[in-house]
Structure 1
């Protein structure tokens, strides 16, 4: 038997072909329904059998530079157990931030990077931990400009990040007032600094001013030029406002009296830097550096020639001739032997100088001779006191630790005690020069008061009030400056005035003066007896 051809008869039963709507709906549903359709179709015809979905994880975050103070920024990632098919984010971060992409279970080679620079690991970088998960990897990128990153997972899900770079602006610094002369001829600079994340350091930069033309310059002659200074300029670091602050006012005091540039007209410019390396520059101010006033003509002449040699080493012949002229007739000008030996030593050192270092040594020696002529020989106690004061001032200036401030304050106390013992001994030897009682309006400052001032300086520094501590130290040094040998000698020449000031400052010498006063009036002493 043979079967005939099948005759379903659908065309007769459905003359309008409505049965085709089912096929159209199936095709439309295939394209409109969400999901990975083709992957399901391929899986249906995969003869290798069912495959377990691959477990993976992709994380990313951005580390801003530490100096910005910003926390890390976490970006959306991908996970195999997440139902989201796409992740995206747009962020703005400071320039210099680092994008970290860490993957587990998948490779990061499929990352599509645009505009970011990858950070290659160092050759001697430590190896990853032995217990790290198999297949884990990490890549880092520097954000120097705007860029984007895209990644497609094994299940065709995607993630993208668009990163904008925020440029770090330059810091700014400006003079709050003109450079001024502070106590003891110190240079005082007041200024304001500003930055978006905070400044790193600041300094004052000095340059010599061009020499002035003569009163009657030769017609057509070129303007005098600047020589290369023998001694470098006295550039120094500036004190910054409170750490972590983005701006504020600052003030720095610097003792430049002993520097060879002291007393010269200079130009000063303030410079500031931030952590990103940007530099800000202030306007330039022209002024004359503070200098010590010398009363003796020979000392003044030495300081002037010292400054001349420090600015232009080619003037050594002029300075040498001046030194020879000063020692031409020591007996006629009543030059003491010690001063004469100092001047002749300076002359021969300059005459035999063979290098710039030798000339700088002559510059330093001229200062020592000038101070010796002006002040005489300083005692060991005075040198120790001056060194202790300068050490504490320098520590306050650079923000030293509390332990160092405590140690330097103790050194200052010991130096003051040693100085007072020396003054008491000198007053005992010269006790008969002042037989007058103290004025009743005179303020008596006891040694305990000076010790309390040092304690106050230490407490202010510990509490963070470094400026107030430096101001109090200046007041303390101003008190102690009145006890210098030159001041005592001048006081004796002015009719015993300085001995009265000495008794007003030291309580122990008050009792000595009372006894000297009683011994100077034997008539009253006999009546009291």
Structure 2
């Protein structure tokens, strides 16, 4: 017996009802999916106008065939369909539960009915079945038809029907009755021809499409290249298009679909029932324009910068710059006298605005051409831009000098000239070998750095090994790279080594950030970075004085070791906290800061110390120019085979060089008579002694030039420049000691005791890094922001930078 006389079916009314609904859906879908699939295909064909592209007779037979097929599939579905009953729902629900409780509750106790213990067990069994029954949930119908519809035709039909509703003419589905009738009966039922037309402007114009059926205006202004689409429905030949805006051949009267592009101003007419006329005024797409702004400039490190402006009515999509050698303007002497080897023009992509409109903008093209054979030589530059329609705008070739790195050390400049000659022409290899053999005769006198001699001999051996068979392209590139590295070593000396150590320390620390180093490794790498950074800053402070460069004009930057230490401590703290992304960004900022360092020398703008340093710097630069001219005179003597050691056959140009040397010696004597910084101090006395040595070397160089001994003159001129550098270094130390005595400690403070120096981002270095006081104040923020954006773009183009820094720079460009 059932516990408490409950009917299980009364508990499961909702579950049974929903399960029964699922059975109906399941059996209907299995029986009628072929019929619904074909019906959807037919509706989609009508919506897309299949009846318009088929001949009337064919359309009639297709319609009749489709109708017969639909009736057959409908009959097949009715034959297969078996309506589900309540007992079917109970059985499916029972099968979905463990132990089939419905069947168990319908059973009766077969044995032990009179045994009370057996009856209690039976009642417990029924209660368990009722508990299971209470957990019953409706069983959904199985609507999976993959085993019946192996090619998923039902989904294809449904997709086609949906597209016909969106892009077709849904109202035309009702024309099925017209298709089913015999030709010529359309007028009898009141159905006539119709049309639709669209005007789609090019996407780059940003203008919307027009549905011409709903446009009330008779005069339209449409951009050049607008696509006009016209569709006719009904009897072919009843309606037509007459237009004079595309220049195409006259369309066939039977064409029910026509597409053409607007290329001129004219008239567009749809002829036939409910026809329309429009006067079309074409908005001509003007070609883009581009112009150069100013002359090509040399940026820090010898980088090229060329500003330009471009505009277009709808926007520039891209552009390029072509740089070609201006051979007619080249000074064809020495290594440039030979005809140059053929070399393709330099092609650079023009930078486009990262955000904002491209209809009218001003940008700057950056590029590092220092190692190119045409560096510091006359070239022509021509810009070309393109709009979305493919129209081109270009500038004429403009004559400029391709910027490159300048070398102030005489031997470095000579090595760079050898490198240029080898890259200029294969004919120069023998001449370059002779010059290198002359230099290698007494290398200890030619090179100040012992490390430079092995590199020079390596380059010489590489050149001599290729003299017989000629330099192939790969060997020439290898030799050019070797000579470039040698020139950098000669020019920068210890600074190159310090920069290399700093670069390696930064790369190792970046790798530790990416791989997750432990605290001991972090501490070791940070110590290594601090040491390399200290050496780099010390060498960098010495380089301007060694080259005789005056302090930078205008706003300059001063930074102390304590401020760098503060930034390094913050990076280390972030790494220890596991905030590697923030540490990497701060490291990239430190890299940008270091590369923009400019050390302020002297005792303030306009002071006597600065005037003396600037005067000596001018003298040193003039002496450098004179040494360059002397070396060219030596080359001419070498090419002519004229002797110079004993003075026989003295070249005419030596007298002029001697006069210039005498003028420089007199200038230096006058500068020694002026008040010099540090007089009476050990540093000042050392500076005066060095200047006297420089004057004595100049006098000996002058005598050697008058005797025609250009080799001896070059040696004495090198001694004079070295003595000038030594004197300037001692004077700078005297100025620094004077500032320390006054308690300035090298700091230049502004009003209210605030530090007046700024970092490369325009932030004050007097306060804490990251405070609100660091923001730009009282300056042209748009100008500073543009300068910063240009600097970020330039740095992001230098692929030899660490990956972490490049990633940070690119994220900055993506954001701003």
**CA contact 1:204–1:238 (8 Å) conserved in 2:** no
**CA contact 2:289–2:311 (8 Å) conserved in 1:** yes
Write out per-residue CA displacement over residues 172-220 of structure 1, whole angstroms, 9 at most, x where no aligned residue: 222333322233333222222221111122333222223458899xxxx
Per the alignment, residue 271 of structure 2 pairs with 152
Q: Residue 291 and residue 106 in structure 1: after superposition, are their counterparts in 2 closer, same or farther (change >3 A)?
A: same
Say if 2:399 is the partner of 1:286: yes
Per the alignment, residue 327 of structure 2 pairs with 210
**Greater displacement, 365-374 / 191-200:** 365-374
**CA contact 1:231–1:311 (8 Å) conserved in 2:** no
1:64 Cα deviation from its structure 2 partner = 1.3
Say if 2:598 is the partner of 1:477: no
Match of 1:60 among 187, 197, 205: 197
Write out per-residue CA displacement over residues 322-356 of structure 1, whole angstroms, 9 at most, x where no aligned residue: 33433344456466542233322441465354544
Q: In the aligned structure 2, how far is the partner of 1:419 from the partner of 1:234? A: 41
Per the alignment, residue 346 of structure 2 pairs with 233
Q: In the aligned structure 2, how far is the partner of 1:380 from the partner of 1:49? A: 89
**CA contact 1:346–1:365 (8 Å) conserved in 2:** no
Task: Report how many residues are paired.
Answer: 368
1:51 Cα deviation from its structure 2 partner = 0.8
Match of 1:140 among 230, 239, 259: 259
Match of 2:563 among 427, 435, 445: 445
Q: Residue 106 and residue 317 in structure 1: after superposition, are their counterparts in 2 closer, same or farther (change >3 A)?
A: farther
Q: In the aligned structure 2, how far is the partner of 1:322 from the partner of 1:362? A: 15
Q: In the aligned structure 2, how far is the partner of 1:181 from the partner of 1:374? A: 18
Say if 2:452 is the partner of 1:339: no
Per the alignment, residue 116 of structure 1 pairs with 246
Q: Residue 375 and residue 442 in structure 1: after superposition, are their counterparts in 2 closer, same or farther (change >3 A)?
A: closer
**CA contact 1:92–1:164 (8 Å) conserved in 2:** yes
Say if 2:488 is the partner of 1:371: yes
Write out per-residue CA displacement over residues 366-395 of structure 1, whole angstroms, 9 at most, x where no aligned residue: 32332244345646544458999xxxxxxx
Say if 2:516 is the partner of 1:420: no
Secondary structure of 1:76's match? helix
Q: In the aligned structure 2, how far is the partner of 1:73 from the partner of 1:451? A: 63
Secondary structure of 1:479's match? coil
Q: Residue 424 and residue 159 in structure 1: after superposition, are their counterparts in 2 closer, same or farther (change >3 A)?
A: closer
Q: Residue 90 and residue 308 in structure 1: after superposition, are their counterparts in 2 closer, same or farther (change >3 A)?
A: farther
Q: In the aligned structure 2, how far is the partner of 1:324 from the partner of 1:178? A: 40
Q: In the aligned structure 2, how far is the partner of 1:313 from the partner of 1:75? A: 69
Q: In the aligned structure 1, how far is the partner of 2:491 from the partner of 2:234? A: 83
Per the alignment, residue 318 of structure 2 pairs with 201
1:293 Cα deviation from its structure 2 partner = 2.6
Secondary structure of 1:100's match? strand
Q: Residue 256 and residue 227 in structure 1: after superposition, are their counterparts in 2 closer, same or farther (change >3 A)?
A: closer
Q: In the aligned structure 2, how far is the partner of 1:228 from the partner of 1:212? A: 17
Secondary structure of 1:363's match? helix
Say if 2:436 is the partner of 1:299: no
Secondary structure of 2:415's match? helix
1:480 Cα deviation from its structure 2 partner = 8.9
**CA contact 2:202–2:225 (8 Å) conserved in 1:** yes
Per the alignment, residue 93 of structure 1 pairs with 222
1:277 Cα deviation from its structure 2 partner = 1.9
**CA contact 1:230–1:309 (8 Å) conserved in 2:** no
Per the alignment, residue 206 of structure 2 pairs with 69
Secondary structure of 2:597's match? helix
**CA contact 1:116–1:141 (8 Å) conserved in 2:** yes
**Greater displacement, 182-191 / 143-152:** 143-152
Secondary structure of 2:221's match? strand
**CA contact 1:103–1:138 (8 Å) conserved in 2:** yes
Q: Which structure is higher in strand share?
A: 1
**Greater displacement, 267-276 / 318-327:** 318-327
1:363 Cα deviation from its structure 2 partner = 3.0
**CA contact 2:297–2:304 (8 Å) conserved in 1:** yes
Which residues of structure 2 form unaligned runs of 5+? 1-183, 509-513, 515-522, 540-557, 572-587, 601-724, 748-756, 758-764, 766-816
Q: How does 1:1-12 map to 2 (within 5 A)?
A: none
Secondary structure of 1:235's match? strand
In the superposition, the TM-score normalised over structure 1's length comes to 0.55
Q: Residue 106 and residue 176 in structure 1: after superposition, are their counterparts in 2 closer, same or farther (change >3 A)?
A: farther
Q: Residue 165 and residue 445 in structure 1: after superposition, are their counterparts in 2 closer, same or farther (change >3 A)?
A: same
Secondary structure of 2:375's match? coil
1:246 Cα deviation from its structure 2 partner = 1.5
**CA contact 1:59–1:103 (8 Å) conserved in 2:** yes
Q: In the aligned structure 2, how far is the partner of 1:77 from the partner of 1:107? A: 23
Q: In the aligned structure 2, how far is the partner of 1:383 from the partner of 1:479? A: 16
Per the alignment, residue 395 of structure 1 pairs with none
Q: In the aligned structure 1, how far is the partner of 2:484 from the partner of 2:199? A: 58
Match of 1:188 among 305, 308, 313: 305
Q: In the aligned structure 2, how far is the partner of 1:193 from the partner of 1:202? A: 10
Q: In the aligned structure 2, how far is the partner of 1:317 from the partner of 1:144? A: 63
**CA contact 1:61–1:100 (8 Å) conserved in 2:** yes
1:113 Cα deviation from its structure 2 partner = 5.0
**CA contact 1:211–1:226 (8 Å) conserved in 2:** no
Q: How does 1:162-177 map to 2 (within 5 A)?
A: 162-177=279-294
1:296 Cα deviation from its structure 2 partner = 3.3
Q: Which has the higher contact order (CA 8 A, sep 6+)?
A: 1
Q: In the aligned structure 2, how far is the partner of 1:138 from the partner of 1:387? A: 65
Q: Residue 90 and residue 110 in structure 1: after superposition, are their counterparts in 2 closer, same or farther (change >3 A)?
A: same
Q: In the aligned structure 2, how far is the partner of 1:272 from the partner of 1:94? A: 21
In the superposition, the TM-score normalised over structure 2's length comes to 0.38
1:291 Cα deviation from its structure 2 partner = 2.4
Per the alignment, residue 273 of structure 1 pairs with 386
**CA contact 1:88–1:160 (8 Å) conserved in 2:** no
